[in-house]
Structure 1
Amino acid sequence: MISSKTMCNLRVLTLVFFSFVVPSTGSKLLFFLVDGFRWDYFDLPGVQTDGFRRLFESGSRAEWLVPDFPTNSFPNYKTLETGLHVEQHGFVGNYMWDEAQDRHFELPLVRASSLHLDWWEAAQPFYITAQLQGIRAGLFNVRACNLSINGVAPSYCDEFLLDRKSPELRILLDTAMESLLNDTLDVAYVYHMPVDTAGHYHGPNSRELKAEVDHVNAFVTEILDKLEAHPKPDVDLIIVSDHGMASVDQTHKINISEALDMTDVRTIIEAGTQVYIWPHQGKEDEVYRRLHGFHEHLHVYRKREILDRWHFRKHALVPPIFLTATKGWFIIHPRAGEVYGEQLLTSPWVGNHGFDNADVDMRAIFLAFGPHFKKNYLSPPFKNTEVYQLLCHVAGIRPRPHNGTWSEVSGMLINPHTEL
């Protein structure tokens, strides 16, 4: 079996450019990842924003955060956690196939192969680096937080539950806050999913979506109340999302079954905004010929043609043929039901992400508050590869090599330390 270290060396084909930043003396850190919170949800008519506006005035924020490509969950969780582009950290999708090992990764993490450490140890997340440096990290509702990575597990793990609603997540967030204020943890990482779910099933302008935004606004108010009431909180709060959300017309389906001969295909995974195809030997040209030009809203790439600006192409897990859809369209194929379920294929989601990360609807959020951050500071937009170095800086973690540039984010800090 190929070791995790060897796999990483084989897969990473580009240099990682980075600068080491002197970590601060370290405060407590609450890292709140709100899945699918689009950059302009604060401005939706009728949503509650008193907590958010208070945070804007009391802390720092970016105009928006640029997600990595593809603008799906796992690729961006790992970019936020490592500061690496997708082609470096190796989580190239929510669904992946390792051809060398004939091993599948699937977002629900039900398959045992999805928990194989080769996926997870290709790049070290900040919370494991923290543990290795004696900084206690707790993960709340974070997928696979029970895994030991590089032989180390977080100090605390409250495992992810798919059906957790906002009221239960409020209790979990309160528990995380208390663990920081009573000094049982140094870093608390909390994951929130309901905004993303509402966006998928009801759309980014729906009543249901706005209700979930209101919940997050209330969470922010409670956090600020608790921190401001504490005699010496010494806690920094960083709130981010992994990507945005776009409306999808249910009639906008691209059925590649009409063009693709499945006998030419060895493996096909994903559906919706992307499809990954491994043709049988000698069939790549034929598969490409059948799909290229099939539909005006289907974009077909050989691996070598994938755009440089996506920082996605140069990884061994990227397939020979990669498909992506124009915003608002949904790709289906004979095996798509294995990913999304047959019912969803007849009635696709009314909201989706995964589209080009340059698109306005894919933009995410970055908000911060605490002893390290300036008040009422608005930063120009930056890429989410920059977030990792901020997490490390405020928590006193010595960062690993990453794709961030310190000058992109240091302006929001009261006392930015000097680069080495």
Structure 2
Amino acid sequence: MYDAVTKKHFSDSNDKDPFWWNEAVPIWVTNQLQENRSSAAATWPGTDVPIHNTISSYFMNYNSSVSFEERLINITMWLNNSNPPVTFATLYWEEPDASGHKYGPEDKENMSRVLKKIDDLIGDLVQKLKMLGLWENLNVIITSDHGMTQCSQDRLINLDVCIDHSYYTLIDLSPVAAILPKINRTEVYNRLKNCSSHMNVYLKEDIPNRFYYQHNDRIQPIILVADEGWTIVLNESSQKLGDHGYDNSLPSMHPFLAAHGPAFHKGYKHSTINIVDIYPMMCHILGLKPHPNNGTFGHTKCLLVDQWCINLPEAIAIVIGSLLVLTMLTCLIIIMQNRLSVPRPFSRLQLQEDDDDPLIG
């Protein structure tokens, strides 16, 4: 990432400057500033940075060599014994992301082994929370920020074949690349536009609205988006057999979400939601006022026991059922009206022979 105003560069190895973080307010900061509460984090990005002069009450600096077990021990200790109490905690784990990049998601043998290990670790988490008497009282959300798709050496987009590297500065690379032109922007755009049929090239102002990626100053003048499974490179090969960051409408980019706790319905299955919808849902559970965001709380209401909602299948069934009832009632009313309005045929009174006898003698 690059900030054109300050000329600063951001990198994963140098991410402690609050300058890069202060445009947003993460939920762990909100949790501490709005209420007399604590937040805790085990190797979660940004929790060791003083964002708006606030860091997570308890945290572990990110270190990929720290085991899941050590992270779990710290998180459960903070949840069980802290003052003020920890009401929001996060735990980050590198898998299956790391193995997905290394092997690719279609490597059944290796990925099955990795997923089995993750399943065992989640089991350890559940057992630890049960042992501490926290499992039935905590709301636990397990999810990811992305999916993964298969890549290969046969699907590379080499920018050096299309344009001289001296014409631009590459800010971010594959599958979404950010380009800062050194010469006329239109010329750089046109050269890149004709580079590959497996890559979309956008001027900043033409980026699709559904990406919500147009207005920040740190978005570069030209953005490249590779097709699913294709990798943007600079005259080199790629060691990744799996990657993410592609168009978020692709099913392969969709992560999963599982939730358990007193706030959630048990055994409920929900249709797809946007990952940003989780933020207002968590704020609701914590009783926090959310900061401006692109999430929609209404998309997650059906997950929560304290919210009334009707999901799409139920709504369709109710509408169809109501229409059927109205149709039947209408038909019955029409039939009854027709019966009441049918005129009786006139017939002259026919007298019998004894009808001349007086009725009163």
TM-score range, shorter chain: 0.7 to 0.9
Structure 2: 5+ residue stretches without partners? 310-361
The answer to whether the Cα contact below 8 Å between 2:276 and 2:294 also exists between their aligned partners in 1 is: yes
Secondary structure of the 1:235 match is coil
Does the alignment pair 1:402 with 2:293? yes
Aligned to 2:214: 313
Aligned to 2:262: 371
Alignment of 1:205-220 (within 5 A): 205-206=106-107, 207-220=109-122
The answer to whether the Cα contact below 8 Å between 2:172 and 2:179 also exists between their aligned partners in 1 is: no
Alignment of 1:152-301 (within 5 A): 152-164=54-66, 168-183=67-82, 185-206=86-107, 207-228=109-130, 231=133, 233-265=136-168, 267-281=169-183, 283-301=184-202
Shift of the 159–136 alpha-carbon distance from structure 1 to 2, 3 Å rule, reads: same
Match of 2:37 among 111, 135, 141: 135
Secondary structure of the 2:125 match is helix
- C-alpha distance in 2, partners of 1:145/1:412? 27
The answer to whether the Cα contact below 8 Å between 1:330 and 1:348 also exists between their aligned partners in 2 is: no
Q: 1:42-82 CA deviation, whole Å, 9 max, x = no partner?
A: xxxxxxxxxxxxxxxxxxxxxxxxxxxxxxxxxxxxxxxxx
Q: 1:104-138 CA deviation, whole Å, 9 max, x = no partner?
A: 111x2x23xx4322210100000001111222001
Shift of the 319–174 alpha-carbon distance from structure 1 to 2, 3 Å rule, reads: same
Q: Give the residue type in structure 1 aligned to 2:38.
A: R
- C-alpha distance in 2, partners of 1:177/1:280? 51
Secondary structure of the 1:377 match is coil
Measured after TM superposition, the shift of residue 182 of structure 1 is: 3.7
Amino-acid identity (%): 27
Greater Cα offset, 251-260 or 398-407: 398-407
Q: Give the residue type in structure 2 aligned to 1:131.
A: Q
- C-alpha distance in 1, partners of 2:111/2:248? 22
Secondary structure of the 1:170 match is helix
Q: 1:222-264 CA deviation, whole Å, 9 max, x = no partner?
A: 3333444555642110111010000001221111111112232
Alignment of 1:384-403 (within 5 A): 384-403=275-294
- C-alpha distance in 2, partners of 1:204/1:380? 23
Normalization by structure 1: what TM-score?
Answer: 0.68
Measured after TM superposition, the shift of residue 411 of structure 1 is: 0.9
Aligned residues: 304
- C-alpha distance in 2, partners of 1:392/1:122? 19
Shift of the 347–401 alpha-carbon distance from structure 1 to 2, 3 Å rule, reads: closer
Higher RCO (C-alpha 8 Å, min separation 6): 1
- C-alpha distance in 2, partners of 1:145/1:180? 16
Measured after TM superposition, the shift of residue 306 of structure 1 is: 0.9
Does the alignment pair 1:125 with 2:26? yes
Shift of the 286–395 alpha-carbon distance from structure 1 to 2, 3 Å rule, reads: same
Aligned to 2:204: 303
Q: Give the residue type in structure 1 aligned to 2:142.
A: I
Shift of the 301–194 alpha-carbon distance from structure 1 to 2, 3 Å rule, reads: same
Measured after TM superposition, the shift of residue 368 of structure 1 is: 0.6
The answer to whether the Cα contact below 8 Å between 1:144 and 1:159 also exists between their aligned partners in 2 is: no
Normalization by structure 2: what TM-score?
Answer: 0.79
The answer to whether the Cα contact below 8 Å between 1:253 and 1:330 also exists between their aligned partners in 2 is: yes
- C-alpha distance in 1, partners of 2:252/2:46? 28
Larger radius of gyration: 2
The answer to whether the Cα contact below 8 Å between 2:204 and 2:219 also exists between their aligned partners in 1 is: yes
Measured after TM superposition, the shift of residue 213 of structure 1 is: 1.6
Structure 1: 5+ residue stretches without partners? 1-95, 335-344
Aligned to 2:343: none
Aligned to 1:353: 244
Shift of the 272–314 alpha-carbon distance from structure 1 to 2, 3 Å rule, reads: same
- C-alpha distance in 2, partners of 1:384/1:365? 10
Aligned to 2:273: 382
Aligned to 1:60: none
